[in-house]
């Protein structure tokens, strides 16, 4: 428990941070395991519905997916 002379470091409300702010927070707290873990968890939770593609996706398939995504904006 901190004494009166020790500063108490309160974790900011991560839910109120933008994605950019969360990334900045992660970058500046990479040596603080607890803070980093909490912020990373928040960032991941916001992106649960994202479609993930394998890193070894063949180029023709990647191009097809990109074309489809670009055409969805029409």
pTM: 0.54
What is the token pair recorded at 48? Answer: 């649960």
Q: Give the pLDDT confidence of 7-54 residue by residue, as tens digits.
A: 456 778 999 999 999 999 999 999 999 999 999 999 989 888 888 899
Query: What secondary structure does DSSP assign to 4-26, as a single string?
Result: TTSPP-PPP-GGGS-HHHHHHHH
* The pLDDT of residue 27: 96
pLDDT at 67 over 90: yes
């Amino acid at each position: 428990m901190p004494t009166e002379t020790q500063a108490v470091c309160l974790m900011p409300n991560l839910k109120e941070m933008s994605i950019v702010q969360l990334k900045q927070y992660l970058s500046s707290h990479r040596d603080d395991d607890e803070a980093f873990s909490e912020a990373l968890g928040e960032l991941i939770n916001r992106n649960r519905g994202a479609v993930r593609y394998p890193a070894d996706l063949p180029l023709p398939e990647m191009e097809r997916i990109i074309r489809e995504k670009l055409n969805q904006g029409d």
